[in-house]
Amino acid sequence: SNRGSRGGRGRGRGVPAARAERFRTTRGGMLNTQPSRGRGDGADVSGQRQRGTQRAVRGGIPNSGEASKGSTYILLVRHGQSIWNAEGRWQGQADTPLSDLGAAQSALAALRLCHRGGALLGGSLPDLKAVYASDMLRANETANILATQADLGPVTCDNRLRERSVGEWSGLTYDEVQQQWPGYLKKRLLPPSYETDDLVLPRVFSALDAVRKDHPGEQVMIVCHAGIIYAVEAYLKAKDGKRNPHRRYRIGNLGCRWVVWDGKGFRLGKRVNLLGEGPMKKPPV
């Protein structure tokens, strides 16, 4: 089976209880909790090739009475900063844990979700019925901190939601890629084992389809990776006939995208940011 056991909170590869408790009282004023600039996720390779200005996007969930009966609202959440995000390394499917800052970011996001969920996510406070996560450590730790501290229930892991592979670039910094693969970044080339969107999308939409079938008319959170969110965005933009659907705007740690099943298919909702109300102004990497 692709999914892990529902089990209790923090089960399986979740964040240890002691670590979750350690960050329970963390406040934004104590640490710099802004999204990481590191190139740790696989999708940052593609993002590096398509620069642009991050748009300010707010809101996303329906007010009561606006939701279509049977529509499922899925909030795709990028994990908190990992140790390789902090070091500026491409990760892909290297299973790295959250940094201390990443754990603090997740705790702050849970706090804001509890107290200002309506302002952060649009409309009324969402009634999240379930929390899913990639089975990779950084996503699973983030999901367990959010679920534990915001009282969202147990986390279900699904290996179909794991980050794309970046192949031979895993573990390398931007400078190391330039040195070992000269000209690749400038020419927008990829290493041989890089997992492209056409390989990522079937497994990801298989997972999304299972979630919407299990949660008709409900709102669900999925903690995953930048590469997954970018691939879903590009596909649904192209499906909807948007211009430049593959132009990618960087999504920071704890940045999110709503995806809606409207009874006929999936469509994009809006981007939101669990670490603050303002736009994510950093350029894509």
What is the pLDDT, as a whole number, of residue 4?
A: 59
What is the pLDDT, as a whole number, of residue 97?
A: 98
Strands (E), the chain: 72-78, 128-134, 155-158, 219-224, 255-261, 266-273
Give the contacts of 18 (CB within 8 A, at least 6 positions apart).
Answer: none
Q: Please identify which of the residues 21, 87, 141, 163 carries the catalytic annotation.
A: 163
Residue the block writes with tokens 């965005």: 233
**Phi, psi values for residue 51, rounded to 5°:** -85, 155
Top-confidence residue, 179 or 52: 179
Q: Please, what is the average pLDDT of the chain?
A: 78
**Is residue 60's pLDDT more than 60?**
no
Give the pLDDT band (50/70/90) at residue 69.
Answer: low
> In angstroms, rounded to a whole number, what is the distance separating the alpha carbons of residues 274 and 112?
7
- The yes-or-no answer on residue 115 being catalytic is no
pTM greater than 0.75:
yes
What is the pLDDT, as a whole number, of residue 3?
A: 65
Burial (Cβ within 10 Å: 0-12, 13-18, ≥19) of residue 65:
exposed
- The yes-or-no answer on residue 79 being catalytic is yes
From the list 255, 236, 23, 32, the residue with the least C-alpha distance to 149 is 23
User: DSSP letter at 164?
Assistant: P
Range with lowest mean pLDDT among 21-25, 127-131, 143-147, 166-170: 21-25
Summarised one tens digit per residue, pLDDT across range 38-47 is: 444 543 333 3
What is the pLDDT, as a whole number, of residue 84?
A: 97
What is the pLDDT, as a whole number, of residue 122?
A: 59
From the list 176, 87, 43, 228, the residue with the least C-alpha distance to 184 is 176
- Mean pLDDT value across residues 241-246: 86
Give the pLDDT band (50/70/90) at residue 118.
Answer: low
What is the pLDDT, as a whole number, of residue 68?
A: 52
Q: Please identify which of the residues 21, 66, 79, 87 carries the catalytic annotation.
A: 79
What is the pLDDT, as a whole number, of residue 1?
A: 57
**Phi, psi values for residue 161, rounded to 5°:** -95, 5
